[in-house]
Amino acid sequence: MVRLNDDYQQNPESFEKVGIVVPKFDQKEITEAAENQPIWVHFGGGNLFRCFHAKIAQNLLNSKELKAGVIVAETYDDGVVNQAYKPYNNRVLQVVMDEKGNYDKTLVVSVADAIYYNHTNTAGWSKLKHVFEQPSLQFVTMSITEKGYALRDVNGNLSPAAVTDIDGDPEAATTNMGAIARLLLARFNAGKLPIAMVSTDNFSENGKRFEEGILTIAEGWAKHGTVSQDFVDYLKNPQLVSFPWSMIDRITPNPAESVASILKDNDFEDTGIIHTDKHTNIAPFGNTEVTHYLVIEDSFPNGRPALEKAGVILTSRDVVNDADQMKVTACLNPLHTGLAIFGSLLGYTSIADEMENQDFVALIKQLGYNEDLPVVKDPKIINPKAFIDEVINKRLPNKNIPDTPQRIASDTSQKLAIRYGVTLQHYLDSGKSTADLKAIPLIIAGWCRFLMAIQDDGQAFEPSRDPLLSELQPYVATIQLGDNVDAHEVLKPILSNQSIFSVDLDKAGLTSQIETYFTDMIAAPGAVAKTLHSVINA
């Protein structure tokens, strides 16, 4: 049996014997280099990072294009650091699974350190402060989930935590944006050192939203006199601090028991899946797909390693934005969310299994080809039609990718604006009629039906975690299947909330259609499947 912590330099054969590719560098050396001259910090060391960013770093370290390991920072989940990183010497086994059932396994040791940092953790703060004070630090990447950037509540007002951060001492900041602004303040105080802050989370204009979050905090501090205006000017100067936009794509499900058991059968020992108290599902291994894209705006004021040599596309902001809108608002994530909602309602636990249900396939084809594609701009670097073809015909049906509707359904309230709102806005802006839209209103109605936490067969289910569940569920909580309800009245507080959808659904002409679909879907057990079938095949 091979273990993650085994000596891959003295005994590479033990790894190679079980088909694991080992690094070409010394982990100790890249760790020391990161201590002395850090280059790359990543916030949110979850599964995507471990399977994607960390492998990019490993490829660059292998080819000597990168001189120091990545420093992982967690502002949220100490369990990730203490249970998934520390016991395994910051290593992970990356498992790439193709549709033929091949497992490509790589021992990834590109992480130099993993640091938990929040306002109460002085050790983590001192370590990260020191890192941010180093002139060598070139860039930060982030994958902290969409909700990680939030500073406002559902009504668009600053949240109590954001107000406390802005009113208080920068040293006591508790929000992610506040905690990161505090680190940037340390970098500013160290001599206005340049840096690129790259969000790689799944939303359109992610760099803009990240920048706005940091500036909301910093401008508040300046107003209260706790920082100088000079600090705000530093953050606003793209020659010093940039917030490049990005598009990232690689379906990376939570680590699955099915993969763990295959690894074990293939003599790999460390397969225990960890469920942290803060609900991150993580393991000594990560499972991911073959296809991957990372497109980043090429704006790095302190330079960068040759990321392009590890397959990253560096380009202009406009091209990144077009690629991101293509993927996140049209050709992949809206399809995913549709499958997540209806899959959860119909009791599915596998995306690949859903792809055997012809109504689900028809739903995402209708959405992707007929509703999203007509208003999507071609980013030129990736063909949108070919991209959807690959998603529908190759990626989603891949039985070896253990993805679940439940993973994708998490935080849906945070994603609807991006996954459907942007497309609807394109319809409104272009004056194109929304009268023929079926999939978008059906999915939004499906989400309202999902909030009832009753499956299509009438059984209760636990909806995936979402920061707005407790606020939204009460609106539909008392409805039973078969009830005769006034859908307009019941759904009004949800559908009229523009901060959820980003567009006015009334103006988009969709409200009554959503209400009708919702009414149809609560008629009786089985009504969700029936409605889906009849709407999509009409």
Ligand X SMILES: NC(=O)c1ccc[n+]([C@@H]2O[C@H](COP(=O)([O-])OP(=O)(O)OC[C@H]3O[C@@H](n4cnc5c(N)ncnc54)[C@H](O)[C@@H]3O)[C@@H](O)[C@H]2O)c1
Ligand Y SMILES: O=P(O)(O)OC[C@@H](O)[C@@H](O)[C@H](O)[C@H](O)CO
User: For ligand Y, which is the closer residue by CB, 150 or 227?
Assistant: 150
> How close are the terminal C-alpha atoms of the chain, in Å?
56
- Choices 72-80, 224-232, 290-298, 353-361 (CB under 6 A): range interacting with ligand X: 72-80
Size of the site for ligand X (CB under 6 A): 26
Binding mask 125-164 for ligand Y (x = CB under 6 A): ---------------------x------------------
Which residues lie across from 62 on neighbouring strands? none
Part in contact with ligand Y (CB under 6 A); list of ranges 99-107, 157-165, 247-255, 457-465: 247-255
* 53 sits in which H/E element: none
Residue type for position 136: S
Query: Measured from the CB of residue 349, what is the shortest distance to ligand Y in angstroms?
Result: 15
**Nearest-approach distance from CB 252 to ligand X, in angstroms:** 4
Position 201 contacts ligand X (CB under 6 A): yes
Considering only the C-alpha atoms of the chain, give the largest distance between any 2 of them, rounded to a whole number of Å. 71
Residue type, 128: L
Minimum CB separation of residue 397 from ligand Y in Å reads 14
3-class state of residue 20 by DSSP: strand
Site pattern 136..155 for ligand X (x: CB under 6 A)? -------xxxxxx-------
Q: Residue 478 contacts by C-beta under 8 Å, 6 or more apart in sequence?
A: none
Q: Is 165 in the site for ligand X (CB under 6 A)?
A: no
279 close to 465: Cβ distance less than 8 angstroms: yes
Q: How are beta strands 293-297 and 246-249 bridged, if at all?
A: antiparallel
Window contacting ligand Y (CB under 6 A); options: 182-190, 244-252, 274-282, 373-381: 244-252
**Subset of residues 214 to 273 that bind ligand X, contact rule: CB under 6 A:** 248-252
Smallest separation, CB 327 to ligand Y (Å): 7
Q: Which two tokens stand for residue 147?
A: 């909700």
Among 106, 110, 271, 280, binds ligand X (CB under 6 A): 280
Query: For residues 204 and 455, which CB has a smaller minimum distance to ligand Y in the complex?
Result: 204
DSSP 419-446: IIIHHHHHHHHHT---TT--HHHHHHHH
Which of 41, 66, 71, 80 contacts ligand X by CB under 6 A? 80
Binding of ligand Y at residue 333 (CB under 6 A)?
yes
The distance of Cα 64 from the centroid of its chain, to the nearest Å, equals 29
Residue 129 lies near ligand X (rule: CB under 6 A) = no
Q: Strand, helix or coil at 275?
A: strand
Helix/strand/coil percent split, the chain, to 5: 50, 10, 40
In sequence order, what are the beta bridge partners of 41? Answer: 71, 140
Site string for ligand Y, 394-423 (x = CB under 6 A): --------------x--x---x--------
Q: Is the dihedral of CA 479, 484, 489, 494 positive or negative?
A: positive
Residues that bind ligand Y (CB under 6 A): 146, 202, 249-251, 332-333, 336, 408, 411, 415
